[in-house]
Amino acid sequence: MIRYRAEIYDKNFNFKSFGAIAEKDIKIDYLTEQTSTFTIPEIVDASISDYVCLRQNGKIYLHGIISSVEYDEHLTKISFIHFMSCLNVDLMINPDDFETTSVEAWFCEKLLALYQGADSYQNIQGFSCSYSSETMILYQRQSEPAEDGTTTLETLNLFTFAQELLQKYGIIFTWSVDFVNKGVSCVISTIDTSSVWNLKLGIADTPEFSIDIHTIEGNFNKIKYYNEADATDTVTYYLHSDGQIDTDDSANRLVPVTYTEKTAQADDTEGAEKTFAEVALEDAQASMINTDFNHEIIVTFNADSKLVPVGAIGQLYNLITPDGVAYKSILTGFEEVNVRYLKLVFGYIRTDLTSILKMQRRK
């Protein structure tokens, strides 16, 4: 019999209480802020912003931040959110920073300033942030830079930005909590494309699955540019399956082709001159997103299955249907259904109305 137990700690990692879990509804989603709940059949000491860890047969398998506590006679109902919620902060940022700094280093600096800064009330005890990759991005400004050269700040929500970095550059944030040594860590890295797990669908342990493939309006993988100074001068850029963008029209092409046409012109700014083709390439890099994972694949299986490999968020899979069709996808969420079943959610699309509304509100 699988035993589930919840432990409650305050923000200084002082142990407060524990209890056996009678009911639970677990929803973890990298793309939206989902709330999970569990019920303990007794009154336990817990408060908003406390930390919670869930144990299964003595081993921690999930942790989060308590968002609400309800008491009903001899029951305690606790809701909690993932540590990714620490990114739900609007900052005033300087877009010029991305011209000289990798986005991982930039993000790490911002998180350390937020949670290991001068404000002790805002800080997270034992917080650390590190990165194992460095990616230079072309940041899309919300407005044109000031003509006089002064710094123009923009508002940026870190949670929304993190989702964009996953979908466009394969950058993922991994959170861990050490309740013994009293620390919270965030590691920023790129997805390990060399690690792909196979999962066969439709077998006894995965009796239910659904696949929903989408075409996303505005996501292009082929763009033809016309030079505003000379309409006969054109260049066409293609997005390839490995994420590269260039003028090669034959190798690693994405299908179906999503095509559009635009104009561009050379930049004559002194000291930062760019040709028509260079300006067009920058726009292509900002406009194109690899749509390989623009789908939602949900697999439901028995929670005690020994045949289904359950990886961490960001794990790549080959999902193989009974007909032998293979879909390469990325694990972006999971949901526990009662005690017996578990749902794995793959891809960047959400068809559940509640999740869609959450994503739209954030954007």
**pLDDT value of residue 140:** 79
Domains in the chain: boundaries: 4-81, 86-190, 196-214+294-344, 222-292
Helix, strand, or coil here: 195? coil
- Neighbouring C-alpha atoms within 13 Å toward the C-beta of 130: 5
Mean pLDDT of 84-96: 93
Are 19 and 40 within 8 A, CB to CB? yes
Rounded Cα distance, 98 and 144, in Å: 15
User: For residue range 232-246, what is the model confidence (pLDDT) as tens digits?
Assistant: 999 999 988 767 889
How many other β-carbons are positioned within 10 Å of the β-carbon of residue 40?
Answer: 24
Given a cut of 70, whether residue 163 has pLDDT beyond it is yes
Q: Quick one: what percent of the chain has pLDDT higher than 90?
A: 50
Q: 151: which 2 tokens?
A: 């710094």
Rounded Cα distance, 9 and 207, in Å: 38
**pLDDT value of residue 36:** 93
**pLDDT value of residue 340:** 64
**pLDDT value of residue 61:** 84
Rounded Cα distance, 363 and 357, in Å: 10
Given a cut of 90, whether residue 134 has pLDDT beyond it is yes
User: For residue range 270-287, what is the model confidence (pLDDT) as tens digits?
Assistant: 777 889 999 999 888 877
**pLDDT value of residue 253:** 84
Tell how strand 127-131 and strand 75-81 pair up: unpaired
Q: Average model confidence (pLDDT) for the chain?
A: 86
Q: 216: which 2 tokens?
A: 């996303």
- The structure tokens 């900002």 sit at 286
User: For residue range 29-51, what is the model confidence (pLDDT) as tens digits?
Assistant: 999 888 999 999 999 999 999 99
**pLDDT value of residue 214:** 61
Question: What's the CATH code, domain 86-190?
Answer: 3.55.50
Q: 87: which 2 tokens?
A: 């990114």
What are phi and psi for residue 169, nearest 5 degrees? -120, 0
Given a cut of 60, whether residue 349 has pLDDT beyond it is yes
Are 302 and 205 within 8 A, CB to CB? yes
Question: 57 pLDDT band (50/70/90 cuts)?
Answer: confident
The beta strand positions in 10-100, using DSSP E, are 15-20, 23-25, 27-29, 36-40, 51-56, 59-72, 75-81, 90-93
Mean pLDDT of 276-303: 82
Mean pLDDT of 72-93: 94
First to last CA, the chain: 43
- Candidates 2.40.50.140, 2.30.300.10, 3.40.50.170, 3.30.360.10; CATH matching 196-214+294-344: 2.30.300.10
Are 9 and 47 within 8 A, CB to CB? no
**pLDDT value of residue 149:** 67
**pLDDT value of residue 68:** 96
**pLDDT value of residue 285:** 81
How many other β-carbons are positioned within 10 Å of the β-carbon of residue 114?
Answer: 19
Residue in 311, 316, 307, 292 with CA at minimum distance from that of residue 196: 316
User: For residue range 169-226, what is the model confidence (pLDDT) as tens digits?
Assistant: 889 999 999 999 999 999 999 998 889 999 888 777 766 777 776 655 557 889 999 9
**pLDDT value of residue 328:** 87
How far are the Cα atoms of 121, 146, 189, 299, 311 from residue 324, in angstroms, in the given order? 55, 56, 32, 16, 22
Length of the chain: 363
Given a cut of 70, whether residue 360 has pLDDT beyond it is no
Residue in 10, 6, 48 with CA at minimum distance from that of residue 125: 10
Given a cut of 70, whether residue 353 has pLDDT beyond it is no
Q: Which of 107-111, 267-271, 339-343 has the lowest mean pLDDT?
A: 339-343
